[in-house]
Structure 1
Amino acid sequence: MKHTQAHERSTDLGEAGPTGAGGGRLVGSDRVLAVLKALARHPGGVGLEELTRAIGSPKPTVHRALGALRRAGLADQDVRGRYGLGDEFLRMAFAHHEARPEHLRVRPVLEALAHRFGETAHYAVLDGHEVVYRAKVDPPAGAVRLTSTIGGRNPAHSTAVGKLLLAGRLGTLAEVEAWIGTAPPARRTPRTLCTAAGLHRELTATAAQGYACDDQENETGVNCLALPVFLTSPTMPSGAVSVSALAYRTPLTVLVDALDEIRALLGRLGEPYR
């Protein structure tokens, strides 16, 4: 997701401040993109002073970046002088999302799962050490719902969809160790698997059984069951479908007991499930 050039450095706001991962200051297009990302974090709008502090660049340069974004329709300014994402940005984002073939194909299955269990159904793909949610359907009723969003991310090692997709890529302990690298995975809850050996055992079991579970490993009080989706290849999953449930409302055992029913719903996609 991040691209580094010899004369430019990019950064994630809130992590590296005004400089990129390699120490270089934001310049040119990197600054414009940093402003765009900052606007996305403020759906209610943000003032120039606050935006300048968040970017860590001089006010005139941030103002020029905003001008470029406004001319392209990617940013807008309201009557209070606060800036936000423009209509053209939203149009492009939603048009791109709606046109994705996997989103269109998977959504009816997600709707069926959400209706059947009264819980949230997701479709997610693997992106490095994280999973990205490409589609989400909330249950038709229920006062308590998950806060996940389309385009949102979670660590792969602590989620059912992540472990399912990693199981097809990391077959040995050495591969798991190389994937983890020198920094241990973040411990999201007391149940999160944070060692190479523990994660390897979990991925081995996941590969053998054809599904993955998240037993309150990513968020306390939320469990999840995930199965693979083969939209682009008969052997390599393009992503995973999951049912994410509030543990007090739908225990993990309920989801596991309904595996055959979930597989039958996924069978509507015409895929070779085990």
Structure 2
Amino acid sequence: MEHTQTYDDSTAPGEDGVAGAEGGRLVGSDRVLAVLKELARHPGGVGLEELTRAMGSPKPTVHRALGALRRAGLAGQDARGRYVLGDEFLRMAFAHHEARPEHVRVRPVLAALAHRFGETAHYAVLDGHEVVYRAKVDPPSGAVRLTSTIGGRNPAHTTAVGKLLLTRQLSSLKEVEAWTGGSPLERRTPRTLCAAADLHRELEATRERGYGVDDQENETGVNCLALPVYLTSPTTPSGAVSISALAYRTPLATLVDALDEIRALLGPLGEPHR
């Protein structure tokens, strides 16, 4: 389901002089950034009318935000006059991604896993209630389109990576309940764990076995196994590496049976040093 947000043309500078949220509406720089994020959802370009409808904002408001982004090189227009992300934005994004030390170090491991299992391998980190994908390698052949993209996000409670990393933060049912905010979690598939008590039991099992699993909880027909990796600390995982597989082709039991081989492919990156 798509969500729209309403924007206000007014600005409400705070103590730092930067406009922020006012009455639940995004204004100033927040509004411009929201337009930038919406542009990223349309790699083939988007017209002003369509962009205005998607954001639920007045056309002049969106047009002014686009003007600011174009002046900064963060947005542009193609030959058809449709708005796209600008070359400067793409340059910064790719340069930053390629320069990440973790990306450089973990990619050979992902490539080895993708080649061995013929499935997609990821490296992801935990960010609040979501996981963020920092690196991804598809297999040489037979790849399928998953919801994951580099820089993309998924709910932590629906993913093997997220549940594995949450075991470091949530050790009791009370902490899990506080993390959920007392409300049922988003349901992605019929197998998604949405209740705090169910998630707590899964985190306990994950902590005991030392790896995370996603049994078609984020995408129907796709399962996943995740192991921690230690790229920035000798004792605390920086994130986790996972193998996302088509359930009919590589069942979850197959990945679990290959756990020792997966750990061997991770090598020192998968071993804490105390």
- Shared fold (TM-score greater than 0.5)? yes
Q: Distance in 2 between matches of 1:272 and 1:240?
A: 13
Tell me, yes or no, if structure 1 residue 168 matches structure 2 residue 157: no
- What's the offset of the Cα at 1:239? 0.2
- What's the offset of the Cα at 1:89? 0.3
Paired residue type of 1:18: Y
Q: Distance in 1 between matches of 2:58 and 2:196?
A: 44
Sequence identity (%):
84
Q: 1:14 aligns to what? A: 3
- What does 1:218-237 align with in structure 2 at a 5 Å threshold? 218-237=218-237
Tell me if the contact between 2:124 and 2:135 (Cα under 8 Å) persists in the aligned partners. yes
Q: 1:42 aligns to what? A: 42
Q: 1:10 aligns to what? A: none
- What's the offset of the Cα at 1:270? 6.8
Q: Distance in 1 between matches of 2:43 and 2:121?
A: 25
Q: Distance in 2 between matches of 1:127 and 1:264?
A: 27
Per-residue CA deviation, residues 136-187 of structure 1 (Å, 9 max, x unaligned), is: 1001011534342111111111110011000111111111111111211112
Paired residue type of 2:154: N
Q: Distance in 1 between matches of 2:112 and 2:35?
A: 39
Tell me if the contact between 1:211 and 1:228 (Cα under 8 Å) persists in the aligned partners. yes
Tell me, yes or no, if structure 1 residue 204 matches structure 2 residue 204: yes
Q: Cα–Cα, structure 1 residues 40 and 191, in superposed 2: closer, same or farther, change >3 Å?
A: same
Q: Distance in 2 between matches of 1:143 and 1:57?
A: 38
TM-score (norm 2): 0.89
Q: 1:5 aligns to what? A: none
Q: Distance in 1 between matches of 2:63 and 2:186?
A: 37
- What does 1:179-190 align with in structure 2 at a 5 Å threshold? 179-190=179-190
RMSD value, Cα: 1.9
Tell me, yes or no, if structure 1 residue 95 matches structure 2 residue 95: yes
Q: Secondary structure at the match of 1:135?
A: strand
Q: 2:131 aligns to what? A: 131
Q: 2:16 aligns to what? A: none
Structure 2 unmatched runs, 5+: 9-19
Q: Distance in 2 between matches of 1:81 and 1:137?
A: 34
Q: Cα–Cα, structure 1 residues 153 and 234, in superposed 2: closer, same or farther, change >3 Å?
A: same
Paired residue type of 2:223: N
Q: Secondary structure at the match of 1:124?
A: strand
Q: Secondary structure at the match of 2:26?
A: coil
Tell me if the contact between 1:155 and 1:162 (Cα under 8 Å) persists in the aligned partners. yes
- What's the offset of the Cα at 1:62? 2.2
TM-score (norm 1): 0.89
Q: Distance in 2 between matches of 1:271 and 1:61?
A: 51
Q: Secondary structure at the match of 1:217?
A: strand
- What's the offset of the Cα at 1:22? 6.6
Tell me if the contact between 2:5 and 2:56 (Cα under 8 Å) persists in the aligned partners. no
Q: How many residues align?
A: 261
Q: 1:53 aligns to what? A: 53
Per-residue CA deviation, residues 120-145 of structure 1 (Å, 9 max, x unaligned), is: 00001011111111111001011534
Structure 1 unmatched runs, 5+: 1-12
Paired residue type of 2:47: G
- What's the offset of the Cα at 1:269? 2.8
Q: Secondary structure at the match of 2:265?
A: helix
Q: Cα–Cα, structure 1 residues 100 and 54, in superposed 2: closer, same or farther, change >3 Å?
A: same
Q: Cα–Cα, structure 1 residues 61 and 199, in superposed 2: closer, same or farther, change >3 Å?
A: closer
- What's the offset of the Cα at 1:17? 3.4
